[in-house]
Amino acid sequence: MHVTLFGTGALGCLFGSRLAPVAEVTLVGSWTEALDSIGRRGILLEEGAGSRSVRVRTARLGEGVPAADLVLVLVKSWQTGTIAPCLGPALRKGGVVLTLQNGLGNLERLGPGAFAGSTTEGAALLGPGHVRAAGGGPTVVAAPQWVARLLGRAGFDARECDPREVQALLWAKLTASCGINALTALLGVPNGELLARPAAWDLVARAAHECARVAEAAGIRLPFEDAAEEARAVARRTASNRSSMLQDLERGAPTECDAIQGAVAAEGARRGVPTPVNGLLWLLVKAATEGKGNRCV
């Protein structure tokens, strides 16, 4: 079975390295340093107390790749529109396109044939093609059953579900991400530090509650009662993690704020739900990235 992953960042390297023992894996991207590093020595994966190098194929975005049974989309949300036209030629007849991206709007941009999923796997990018596993968690996919089975063989806690559950889980992840990702990025701290800063935590809680109210207005039933308590649980569980938004800011890459805080603010405006904190965090993160070059794709 052949798997093509679009994305050479933290999750792309994590999923690619774990899938390589059970499938033929090709990583596709446009980050030259990552493609060169992986081509020379494979993906360098740090997990537990050890590390290993995992060999996979690589291809630059726009090059031909072997037709895949599974195309896994793990690029940042701002790249989705760019890679969408490349998916069809990369897919074998009867193959599956699956997105495990953060934020809202990715599935719609990938087209009607794509399937959605959600993962709570954590990973930290230490350098081009060099990733550290940062805590495991469930991965759910609204895709044919064999996709979950394949991910399971690769060591992921994966299961099949229906599209409504995926949407609820994406929104659930969004409620925590809205505050945690933005504040950790702006303050330059790991997730757990927010719990020790009352003013910062107040903003996280407000952002989470705003997101939950927008989800309710959109008819999404979240799998918890209190959005702020869910965010607190996530921050505790991932206390040592440096959020993906913080990692993006640190290496001068664009962030996913448009698909996270920006998407909540836009959906709130459409549904008449005020989202002042998410709107402010969105602008602050965008202001922090203005003038920085894109060094990681």
Q: Which positions are catalytic?
A: 173
**138, 161, 184 - which closes a domain:** 161
**97 and 204: one domain?**
no
Question: pLDDT tens digits, the chain, 297 residues: what are they?
Answer: 999 999 999 999 999 999 999 999 999 999 999 999 999 999 999 998 899 999 999 999 988 898 999 999 999 999 999 999 999 899 999 999 999 999 999 999 998 889 999 998 988 889 999 999 987 889 999 999 999 999 999 999 999 999 999 999 999 999 999 999 999 999 999 999 999 999 999 999 999 999 999 999 999 999 999 999 999 999 999 999 889 899 889 888 899 999 999 999 999 999 999 999 999 999 999 999 886 655 444
**11 and 143: one domain?**
yes
Q: Which residues pair with 118 in a beta bridge?
A: 140
Residues 200 and 146: their CA atoms lie apart, in Å, by 43
**92 and 177: one domain?**
no
Structural domain containing residue 157:
2-161
- Predicted confidence at residue 253, as pLDDT, reads 85
**103 and 150: one domain?**
yes
Q: Specify the number of domains making up the chain.
A: 2
Q: Supply the pTM of this predicted model.
A: 0.90
**7 and 42: one domain?**
yes
**13 and 155: one domain?**
yes
Residue 295 forms part of a structural domain: no
- Predicted confidence at residue 231, as pLDDT, reads 96
**161, 193, 208 - which closes a domain:** 161
**266 and 173: one domain?**
yes
Residue 275 forms part of a structural domain: yes
The CATH number covering residue 279 comes to 1.10.1040.10
- Predicted confidence at residue 296, as pLDDT, reads 45
The CATH number covering residue 28 comes to 3.40.50.720
CB-count exposure of residue 234 (10 Å: 0-12, 13-18, 19+): buried
Give the residue carrying structure tokens 């060099």: 130
Residue 145 forms part of a structural domain: yes
**229 and 88: one domain?**
no
**119, 142, 161 - which closes a domain:** 161
Residue 22 forms part of a structural domain: yes
Residues 56 and 53: their CA atoms lie apart, in Å, by 10
**182 and 121: one domain?**
no
Residue 297 forms part of a structural domain: no
Residue 193 forms part of a structural domain: yes
**281 and 193: one domain?**
yes
Residue 49 forms part of a structural domain: yes
Residue 78 forms part of a structural domain: yes
**149 and 187: one domain?**
no
**182 and 284: one domain?**
yes
Q: Which residues contact 177 (CB under 8 A, 6 or more apart)?
A: 102, 103, 243, 260
CB 210 within 8 A of CB 264: yes
